[in-house]
């Protein structure tokens, strides 16, 4: 933690750079000549140098920080390339002009050295302003100002497709609206005032542009005075242009609230500003609003059966499935991870069997819009994976292109937002920084939430210091806990600490077990598998014992060592049928449990035998077994009784509705099993829904 910007609102325009200035001063010193630490834990006189590479923020904050105009800029809607707003429908990345660091620095310095009037002209022509980050000689704003996948993919692409393109919204049948005569009442702003005769003022194109820009800014800030400051015609047109459906009798207050609610679900760079009319007019209307066809795709009837089927989908307990009736008001604010679950897990599993050929609700139109949506799902799934390859990156780009081309064909009046264009730049960032999990916004948003819960008195000047001290205390406490890891008696306290502070202490717990093992004479610390203090003693039947021996022997070289009834070799070990049943095992903070102990955590993919691909199945039980190790000493290991599902036959496979959508990671199995096998926790790949 370097600094906290005082609120209650975010800095406006260039004011942010007053806070960046001291940070950049420190970064310059760390770059050259560096700083010398007189003493560290392991050495003395250590030269430390540091650089700032990826800059992670949501789109509005990022554009402010790197010196770009707002998202509504016509000449610079993208922070990485030189495409203009009129070119957002161009999906051929090879034709996009690339903005260079030299170009950005040149115009940034021009803006910095100009007077106020000239600055606005430069910003309008280039979309570039000065940024304190440009003082860093190595920092490239066209590469290191990264696109946050959390906001770009989950809160923008997925959310926007469902809420705007498909119009996912439950509409009450008995809603009451105020009459239109009350909707266009006087306001406090010139933008809202009628003339003395009750007629609207005539606005020139320049006045229209000013009003629209001001309205966009207020929507971005979620201002409480939108209804008071703007006329009904501007509010209605602005809402329609952004795909927000309002009734014909909606009041200014209702539309303003709809705009704020919509803004709560989208990042600010999603706000689209309509162009002014090229003539004077007393009524601002759109020539070409986004298609209203989309608003009927996920209507009440569709949502009813979708909700019903979605509730039957088993989601692992570590995944937040979101509200049960997504799309209906009063369900709470849908967060980024919940949009991801709804769009990439629930809807594909529900819609593909129903809307694909052979499904009960199939027709040509639904099949086309489903295929278009699944191109987006495939791209998002592949981009947000924890590992990537060059081949997968090319597949991502192809799915994005297919999705955008499909949007243009199926919804010709839908305006492509800048955020969707920026999604095309995510693959190139993967080459620079690796998987998006290394630079997306989830951990930083979590830190925001943690700091929001720190106790403070709210007094300016002291607030920032209080937050900083609390942050440091938490860091020191974690350090102390790691230093005390050798004291195994603290393990129960660590679990309480983990639940209280949401701290991942898997490594800490492993250290505790390492200390215990060393005391017992073993050199290797076992991986943390079960967090239970006890268990239920029982015995394996003959088949289970044979499967256990098979799994133990699978990891050996030079023949079988473990047997069930005795062997001919002197080194053969007869396995005891005695086991200790466990409720679950935990790996990397994720719980895996048997069918009798969990409703959500027993569906897993696992490797069985020498099969190269993991197979789907369910965990029947988890148990510990004690047996001699390679050196003859007794060791206790955790095992899983796994029931693999029967795959589809060669005749059935082409009939699988998921077969044609390979990149979304879905596949059908029969839900019965023909055998039980024993596997180790490391054979378990992960959960599935």
Q: Are residues 681 and 538 in the same domain?
A: yes
573: number of Cβ within 10 Å: 18
Q: Give the mean pLDDT of 264-273.
A: 70
502 and 576 fall within a common domain: no
Specify the pLDDT at position 293.
41
Q: What is the pLDDT of residues 237-255, one digit of tens each?
A: 888 888 787 776 788 898 9
Higher pLDDT among residues 614 and 499, named by residue: 614
Q: What percent of the chain has pLDDT over 70?
A: 85
Asked if residue 674 and residue 540 are part of one domain, the reply reads: yes
| Domain hosting residue 269, numbered range | 202-294
The pTM (predicted TM-score) of the whole model is 0.79
**Burial class for 602, CB neighbours closer than 10 Å (0-12, 13-18, 19+):** buried
Average pLDDT (116-142) is 95
What pLDDT does residue 667 have? Answer: 92
What is the pLDDT at residue 487? Answer: 56
Residue 2: predicted pLDDT: 87
Residues 225 and 288 grouped into a single domain? yes
Query: Would the pLDDT of 291 be above 50?
Result: no
Does residue 193 fall inside a structural domain?
A: no
Pairing of strands 562-563, 573-574: parallel
Candidate from 29-43, 153-167, 245-259, 277-291 with smallest mean pLDDT:
277-291
How big is the chain by its Cα radius of gyration, in Å?
30
* pLDDT surpassing 70 at residue 506: no
What values do phi and psi take at 307, rounded to 5?
-60, -45
Based on the domain organization, do 132 and 163 belong to the same domain? Answer: no
Count H helices, E strands: the chain?
22, 14
In this predicted structure, what is the pLDDT of residue 541? 92
Closest to 130 in 3D by CA, of 107, 146, 160: 107
Which of 462, 487, 512 is at the close of a domain?
512
Q: What is the pLDDT of residues 57-85, one digit of tens each?
A: 988 899 999 999 887 788 999 999 999 99
Q: Is residue 472 in some structural domain?
A: yes
Residue pLDDT, tens place only, 465-493: 888 889 888 888 877 777 765 555 566 66
Judge whether 522 lies within some domain.
no
pLDDT confidence of 41, banded at 50, 70, 90? confident
In-domain check, residue 517: no
Is 378 part of any domain? Answer: yes
Mean pLDDT across the stretch 201-215? 87
Predicted pLDDT of residue 611: 81
Asked whether residue 186 is domain-assigned, the answer is no
Specify the DSSP element, H or E, that contains 592.
Answer: strand 590-593
Residue 68 backbone class (left: φ over 0; alpha: ψ -120 to 50; beta: rest): beta
pLDDT at residue 535, as a whole number: 82
pLDDT for the residue 669? 95
The whole-number average pLDDT for the span 36-48 is 90
Query: Picking from 33-47, 278-292, 411-425, which range would have the lowest pLDDT averaged per residue?
Result: 278-292
Look at residue 448 and tell me if it is in a domain.
no
Residue 164's pLDDT is: 87
- Using the predicted structure, report yes or no on whether residue 531 has a pLDDT greater than 70: no
How many distinct structural domains can be found in the chain?
A: 5
Do 333 and 433 fall within a single domain?
A: yes
Please calculate the CA angle 253-255-257 and round it to the nearest 5 degrees: 70
Judge whether 185 lies within some domain. Answer: no
Are residues 314 and 434 part of one domain?
A: yes
Q: Are residues 363 and 489 in the same domain?
A: no
Q: What is the mean pLDDT of the chain?
A: 84
* Interaxial angle between packed helices 232-241 and 252-265, expressed in degrees from 0 to 180 and rounded to the nearest 10: 30
pLDDT at 584 over 70: yes
């Amino acid at each position: 933690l370097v600094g906290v910007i005082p609120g209650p609102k975010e800095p406006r325009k260039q004011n942010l750079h007053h806070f960046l200035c001291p940070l950049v001063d420190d970064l310059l010193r760390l770059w050259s000549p560096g700083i010398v630490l007189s003493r560290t834990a392991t050495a003395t006189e250590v030269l430390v140098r540091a650089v700032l590479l990826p800059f992670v923020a949501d789109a509005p904050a990022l554009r402010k920080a790197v010196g770009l105009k707002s998202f509504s800029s016509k000449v610079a809607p993208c922070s990485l390339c030189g495409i203009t707003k009129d070119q957002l429908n161009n999906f051929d990345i090879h034709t996009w002009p690339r903005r260079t660091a030299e170009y950005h620095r040149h115009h940034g310095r021009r803006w910095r050295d100009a007077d106020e009037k000239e600055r606005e002209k430069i910003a309008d022509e280039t979309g570039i302003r000065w940024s304190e980050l440009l003082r860093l000689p190595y920092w490239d704003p066209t590469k290191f100002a990264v696109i946050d996948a959390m906001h770009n993919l989950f809160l923008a692409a997925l959310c926007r497709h469902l809420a705007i393109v498909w119009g996912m919204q439950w509409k009450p049948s008995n809603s009451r609206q105020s009459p239109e005569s009350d909707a266009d009442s006087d306001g406090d702003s010139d933008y809202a005032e009628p003339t003395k005769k009750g007629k609207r003022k005539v606005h020139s194109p320049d006045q229209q542009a000013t009003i629209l820009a001001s309205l966009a800014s207020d929507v971005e800030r979620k201002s409480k005075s939108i209804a008071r400051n703007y006329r009904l015609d501007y509010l209605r047109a602005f809402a329609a242009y952004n795909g927000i459906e309002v009734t014909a009798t909606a009041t200014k207050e209702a539309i303003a609230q709809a705009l704020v609610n919509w803004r709560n679900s989208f990042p600010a760079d999603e706000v689209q500003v309509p162009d002014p009319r090229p003539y004077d007019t007393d009524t601002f209307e759109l020539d070409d609003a986004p298609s209203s066809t989309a608003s009927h795709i996920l209507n009440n009837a569709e949502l009813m059966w979708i909700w019903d089927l979605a509730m039957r989908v088993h989601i692992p307990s570590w995944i937040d499935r979101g509200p049960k009736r997504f799309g209906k008001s009063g369900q709470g604010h849908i967060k980024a991870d919940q949009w991801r679950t709804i769009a990439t897990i629930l809807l594909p599993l529900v819609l593909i069997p129903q809307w694909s050929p052979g499904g009960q609700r199939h027709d040509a139109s639904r099949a086309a819009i489903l295929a278009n949506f699944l191109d987006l799902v495939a791209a998002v799934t592949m981009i947000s994976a924890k590992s990537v390859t060059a081949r997968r990156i090319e597949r991502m780009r192809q799915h994005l292109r297919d999705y955008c081309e499909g949007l243009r064909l199926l919804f010709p009046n839908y305006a492509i937002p800048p955020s969707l264009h920026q999604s095309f730049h995510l693959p190139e960032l993967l080459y620079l920084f690796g998987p998006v999990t290394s630079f997306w916004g989830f951990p930083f948003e979590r830190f925001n939430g943690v700091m929001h819960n720190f106790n403070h008195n709210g007094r300016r000047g002291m607030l920032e210091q209080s937050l900083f001290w609390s942050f440091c205390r938490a860091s020191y406490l974690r350090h102390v806990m790691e230093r005390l890891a050798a004291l195994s008696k603290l393990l129960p306290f660590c679990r309480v600490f983990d639940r209280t502070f949401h701290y991942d202490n898997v490594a800490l717990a492993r250290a505790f077990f390492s200390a215990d093992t060393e005391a017992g004479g073993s050199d290797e610390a076992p991986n943390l598998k079960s967090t239970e203090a006890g268990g239920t003693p029982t015995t394996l039947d003959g088949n289970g014992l044979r499967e256990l021996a098979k799994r133990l022997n699978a990891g050996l070289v030079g023949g079988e060592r473990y047997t069930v009834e005795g062997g001919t070799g002197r080194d053969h070990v007869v396995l005891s049928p005695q086991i200790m049943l466990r409720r679950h095992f935990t790996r990397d903070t994720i719980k895996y449990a048997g069918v009798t102990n969990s409703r959500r955590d027993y569906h897993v993919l696992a490797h069985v035998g020498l099969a190269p691909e993991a197979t789907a199945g369910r965990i029947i039980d988890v148990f510990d077994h004690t047996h001699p190790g390679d050196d003859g000493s007794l060791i206790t290991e955790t095992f899983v009784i796994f029931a693999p599902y029967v795959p589809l036959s060669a005749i059935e496979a082409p009939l699988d509705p998921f077969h044609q959508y390979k990149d979304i990671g879905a596949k059908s199995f029969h839900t019965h099993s023909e055998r039980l096998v024993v596997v180790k926790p490391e054979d378990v790949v992960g959960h599935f829904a």
